[in-house]
Chain A
Amino acid sequence: MFDINLFGLFGQLLVGLINGSFYALLSLGLAIIFGLLKIINFAQGALYMLGAFIAFLALEYLGINYWAALIIVPITVGLVGIMMERFLIRPIANEDHLYSLLLTFGLALIIQGAFTHMFGSSGLSYAIPEELKGGNRLPFMYLPNYRAWIIVASVLVCFGTWYMIEKTKLGAYLRAGTENPQLMQAFGINVPLIVTLTFGFGVALAGFAGVMAAPVYSVSPDMGSNILIVVFAIVVIGGMGSIGGSILTGLGMGVVEGLTKYFYPEASTTVIFLVMVIVLLLKPAGLFGKEA
């Protein structure tokens, strides 16, 4: 177990980083929705699954290829999110967090159940786009081009999002609008619109992750529920609502999980929760969270 093969280890680190990219995309969406809107969105996993399915259906029935799907699917999923926020979440916006949690959890079950009913549980396959087929032989492993693309794309999207929220004027409006809605409204800014759009954006990130995942994982109704709990743990580790924290934690936990798969695979699904327990004990607000 401990004859460490350095090349093998590098391989595992890289693979972990790739998985971490998905975690980062999904936890970023959750962190935005929670950090800015204080909504615990349990439907994020189902919307990720929805993204993968829309990409599949678009290719199958409309001939829309992967690259177009990368733009169209997040917008479509974002629109679904906007409808959700406007018609379902807003009526209970002033209630306890628990209400939005239960509502979105219920929605996730409904969406997943509907897709199992329509498409079965076996999963569908989505081919890797021609341009990204093949791969490169690195000294320590064979790196498929598509996996390299996953890292590049998700890092770009994650840090672009972080920059927009933390460093631009638009981001400042957004943070202010959720911090003190009355004041912002007095300045003539349409706060409910901002809330809806933010929710739509957070959800669109899940849709984007879904398209990214379709070529490498089996497109199946339960793909979202498998990953959601892990992603929630990551958000908790990073600090509920911390935008940058969720990105870094997502990537980091991918690596931790990758290493566990190398040293003791049986624990790979639990290690993140173990980290979560330790972090909560030592730093209840999470690694990057502000102490209340």
Chain B
Amino acid sequence: MFASKRLSKELTKLQDKLPPGIALVKADDFREWLMDIQVMDENPIYQGQTYRLKFTFSQSYPIEAPEVVFVRDESHPIPMHPHIYSNGIICLDLLDRQGWSPVHNVESVCVSLQSMLTSNTKNERPPGDDSFVRHNTQRPRDINFVFHDNAV
């Protein structure tokens, strides 16, 4: 109830107008949405690519952060970034319990991720990506990320 009221308002706004490089792909219900993002400037790492994001909302959204991951298919790779694992899990304080504020919304999360990619110059995965991707069985919200690197 709480979540759907807010999400329906967000949806109306998203359908009306979106910042450049962000597109709404699918929002059939109030549990899971798909968004596409593109990096708009000249950053060679992300040139000509479109990335797909999956938002999963709990009943208590926006009090609780949504779960946001990149998803891969034929036309959508997982972006290279030292804070993005190759299985699409994103390490960003904004999406964690501590950093989340209910004032954020789907659009602001997309914009934050866009700028996180734009400002990145390292064409690499996080350290330990291999073993994390192989062994991780937890959902993103249950992982205790340590946010030590504020530069990227």
State whether these chains interact. no
Chain B residues within CB distance 8 Å of chain A = none
